[in-house]
């Protein structure tokens, strides 16, 4: 699957680059993220393309874009993989509701997502992989699990038994009652009769009448959700990655199950050295989601003339792990901040650019604290100084680390 074009990233001068620390959901605390061998490996779960990119999506992908930018500034190569769940029940349900071909729906919304990510200057993944194009490798992983005794059949469907997973629960750290409730809420089937355990997850679903299906050694059907990401990640990042990321609603069951399924196939734990999760964006007191219909779409804001750089600043103003409410005031603040920064870098001189660069690096290394980073740039923009090199260095710093272009040609 085609990714989107990469924006140019300025090379920043050398200087102290603190060790990156992020909040690991599994450790339930901050951990150092120090990739080995000069390459940082990251998997960020992608969209199910049955609707346009909303601000909850955008906030999540901006968080991991920031993480990737910090790694690159540290001189690391970044191997970044993202999937597209371009076959799943919500997609089929939306296509049937609207009387549209599900393939056409998925392609249209994936194209719109690419446009939104391009406008927001999100660095693209090295591998952007749809479930449909990865069908054979997903099926092979399920076969591998079956051969390892980590799968069983139920009325033609294939399930993963959590009883074979010694580390089950170590990603989310949730109690069983909470797991069961979230499993039911987020696409699981804990009440299906015949399962060995209510929390066993679907690996392969046998073909259903009127639904798309694919031939495989498992019979005709299509994969479950969690094994999709496990297979795509294993095939491109290896048995262990540095960060697996996504919204906090993916912690359980999705990241929990993809991790134990990968372990059952490879014998390697952990699947990720850090599990990093972004907070939810709400509107009118509720999480922004397609099921609630309370969405603010990136494409719609762009069509209304909102500068994507202002939108990016509005979303970076809160810490990535914080649940937050979206308001017009946030967008207004992002717009005002962008104007102030652009005016500041147009001056012939300013306060020390090296000091500002160091402050932004410190902030972002401390669990991607964009709130502190933005405040540092605000202080620089409001100050006075004689450093004639500062405006150019600040322009490059904001571009490289925060993904915001302050160039007049990008307005």
Lowest mean pLDDT among 130-144, 150-164, 277-291, 383-397: 277-291
* pLDDT score at 53: 87
C-alpha to C-alpha distance for 334 and 311, rounded to whole angstroms: 6
Lowest mean pLDDT among 136-150, 279-293, 384-398: 279-293
Do 170 and 26 touch, CB atoms closer than 8 A?
yes
Residue 333 has pLDDT above 60, yes or no: yes
Residue 408 has pLDDT above 80, yes or no: no
Do 356 and 389 touch, CB atoms closer than 8 A?
no
Q: What backbone torsions phi and psi does residue 186 show, to the nearest 5 degrees? A: -115, 40
293 pLDDT tier (thresholds 50, 70, 90): low
* pLDDT score at 291: 60
3-class secondary structure per residue, 79-112:
EEEEEECCCCHHHHHHHHHHCCCHHHHHHHHHHH
* Residues 6 or more apart in contact with residue 119 via CB below 8 angstroms: 298, 302, 308
122 pLDDT tier (thresholds 50, 70, 90): very high
* pLDDT score at 394: 98
C-alpha to C-alpha distance for 371 and 406, rounded to whole angstroms: 18
pLDDT averaged over the chain?
Answer: 96
3-state helix vs strand vs coil in the chain, percent to 5: 45, 15, 40
* DSSP state for residue 297 in the 8-state scheme: B
* Burial classification of residue 5, based on how many CB atoms lie within 10 Å of its CB (0-12 exposed, 13-18 middle, 19 or more buried): exposed
* Residues 6 or more apart in contact with residue 101 via CB below 8 angstroms: 95
Residue 403 has pLDDT above 90, yes or no: yes
* pLDDT score at 249: 96
* Residues 6 or more apart in contact with residue 64 via CB below 8 angstroms: 42, 44, 243, 245, 276, 278
Residue 280 has pLDDT above 70, yes or no: yes
Instruction: Return the CA Rg of the chain.
Output: 22
pLDDT in tens, 175-217: 999 999 999 999 999 999 999 999 999 999 999 999 999 999 9
């Amino acid at each position: 699957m085609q990714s989107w074009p990469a924006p140019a990233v300025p090379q920043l001068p050398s200087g102290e680059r603190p060790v990156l620390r992020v909040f690991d959901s599994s450790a339930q605390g901050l951990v150092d993220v120090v990739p080995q061998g000069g390459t940082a490996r990251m998997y960020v779960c992608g969209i199910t393309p049955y609707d346009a990119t909303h601000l909850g999506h955008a906030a999540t992908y901006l968080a991991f874009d920031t993480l990737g930018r910090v790694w690159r500034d540290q001189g690391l190569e970044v191997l970044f993989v993202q999937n597209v769940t371009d076959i799943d029940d919500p997609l089929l349900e939306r296509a049937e509701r609207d009387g549209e071909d599900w393939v056409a729906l998925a392609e249209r919304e994936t194209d719109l997502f690419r446009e939104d990510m391009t406008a927001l200057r999100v660095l693209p993944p090295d591998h952007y992989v749809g479930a449909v194009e990865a069908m054979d490798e997903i099926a092979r992983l399920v076969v591998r699990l079956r051969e390892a005794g980590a799968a069983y059949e139920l009325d033609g469907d294939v399930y993963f038994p959590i009883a074979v997973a010694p580390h089950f629960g170590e990603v989310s750290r949730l109690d069983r009652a909470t797991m069961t409730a979230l499993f039911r809420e987020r696409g699981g089937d804990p009440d299906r009769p015949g399962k060995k355990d209510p929390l066993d997850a679907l690996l392969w679903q046998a073909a259903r009448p009127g639904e798309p299906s694919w031939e495989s050694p498992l019979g005709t059907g299509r994969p479950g959700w969690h094994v999709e990401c496990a297979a795509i990640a294993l095939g491109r990042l290896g048995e262990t990655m540095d960060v697996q990321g996504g919204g906090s609603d993916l912690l359980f069951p999705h990241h929990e199950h993809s991790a134990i399924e990968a372990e059952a196939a490879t014998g390697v734990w952990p699947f990720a050295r850090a599990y990093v999760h972004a907070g939810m964006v709400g509107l009118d007191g509720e999480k922004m989601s397609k099921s609630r219909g309370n969405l603010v779409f990136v494409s719609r804001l762009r069509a209304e003339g909102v500068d994507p750089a202002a939108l990016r600043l509005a979303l970076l103003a809160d810490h990535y792990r914080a649940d937050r409410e979206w308001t017009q005031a946030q967008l207004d603040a992002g717009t005002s901040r962008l104007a102030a920064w652009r005016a500041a870098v147009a001056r012939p001189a300013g306060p020390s650019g090296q000091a500002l660069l160091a402050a932004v690096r410190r902030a972002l290394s401390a669990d991607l604290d964009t709130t502190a980073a933005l405040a540092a740039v605000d202080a620089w923009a409001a100050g006075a100084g004689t450093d004639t090199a500062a405006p150019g260095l600040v322009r490059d710093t904001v571009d490289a680390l925060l993904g915001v272009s302050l160039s007049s040609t990008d307005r």
